[in-house]
Amino acid sequence: MLKNIYVTPLNLLKSATSLQQQVRTTFVLKRKYDPPLHKTNEKPRQMRAKNFIYELVEDTLVKKRPNIEVVLKTFVEGVGDKGDVVSMKPNFVYNKLLLPGLAAYNTPENVAKYAKTEAEKSAVKHSSAYAQRTVNMLESIVLAVVMNKDEPWVLEPWHIKASLRKTGFHCREECITLPKERIEGPDLKKENKDFYCTVTINKLEQARLKCRLHHWSTDPSERLPYVLEHWKLQSEPLLDVGSPEKNT
């Protein structure tokens, strides 16, 4: 009867699955003290403890890696257009270009494969790699347009140009398109109200810039109270036309 009893084997010493990952840690060392020399065909002299003292020459783990050249498969904002060969930092290339499939390694085959065709060259969509980034930055701000509270004025492109210069943007007056309706003042009913204008970049891209009107006086006693972080507050449109497309 005992022969019919089945005994289940226990794998108590079975090794657990472990993750093995290669670590590239290479150190270049040199001896601080030269080892003793010996003549040819003689037994090497025994080294002393000081001969095993080393000095670090180079740590490849913290060594700056060279840039990697890749060929762009499509337009990448802030980098380049399709077919461009760019040289970027390794981390940016791996995470932002190679892994998403936006670029390939720079080889003669890839350069020929992803080169622009004649039709693509004629149909220009982006004037430069940074133009779209500029459009995004302009459309993300609320531009404060400060006008005189005491003297009559009519809003002109150079007013927008001066206000943009205060925020770090430089453009020419012919690149700025104001609303068709005339904006003039001083008029306190227009205080803290918004209107839109269009900024053309490289004669191709267009950014819709949101502007907010403020009045300012040279007389301190006539100045309006300062509004902290006005761009976070809700405001009303200055013009009767509701949509920004019609304002431009």
Residue 218 is part of a domain; what is its CATH number? Answer: 3.10.430.100
Which residues are within 8 A (CB) of 237 and not within 5 positions of it... i.e. 6 or more apart? 193, 194, 195
Which residues are within 8 A (CB) of 168 and not within 5 positions of it... i.e. 6 or more apart? none
Cα–Cα distance, 175 to 127 (Å, whole number): 15
- Strand order, beta sheet including 176-177: 142-148, 205-216, 194-201, 176-177
Asked, for residue 84, whether it belongs to a domain, the answer is: yes
Q: What is the pTM of this model?
A: 0.64
**Predicted pLDDT of residue 59:** 86
**Predicted pLDDT of residue 152:** 93
Which residues are within 8 A (CB) of 196 and not within 5 positions of it... i.e. 6 or more apart? 179, 208, 209, 210, 211, 244, 247, 248
Is there a single domain that holds both residue 140 and residue 212? yes
What residues of the chain score a pLDDT lower than 50? 1-2, 242-248
**Predicted pLDDT of residue 244:** 45
Is there a single domain that holds both residue 190 and residue 228? yes
Asked, for residue 170, whether it belongs to a domain, the answer is: yes
Distances (CA, A) of 239 to 13, 19, 20: 81, 65, 66
**Predicted pLDDT of residue 154:** 94
Give me the count of residues in the chain. Answer: 248
Is there a single domain that holds both residue 112 and residue 179? no
**Predicted pLDDT of residue 86:** 93
Is there a single domain that holds both residue 118 and residue 149? no
**Predicted pLDDT of residue 109:** 94
Instruction: Find the domain containing 104 and state its range.
Output: 68-123
Residue with tokens 């350069």: 111
Tally of CB atoms within 10 A around 147: 21
Q: Running DSSP on this structure, what letter comes out for residue 55?
A: E
Asked, for residue 185, whether it belongs to a domain, the answer is: yes
Is there a single domain that holds both residue 149 and residue 180? yes
Asked, for residue 82, whether it belongs to a domain, the answer is: yes
Q: Residues 213, 218, 219, 221: is their CA dihedral positive or negative?
A: positive
Which residues are within 8 A (CB) of 128 and not within 5 positions of it... i.e. 6 or more apart? 202
202 — alpha (psi -120 to 50), left (phi > 0) or beta? left
Please tell me the total count of domains within the chain.
Answer: 2
Tally of CB atoms within 10 A around 48: 11
Is there a single domain that holds both residue 217 and residue 134? yes
Cα–Cα distance, 243 to 248 (Å, whole number): 9
Q: Running DSSP on this structure, what letter comes out for residue 127?
A: S
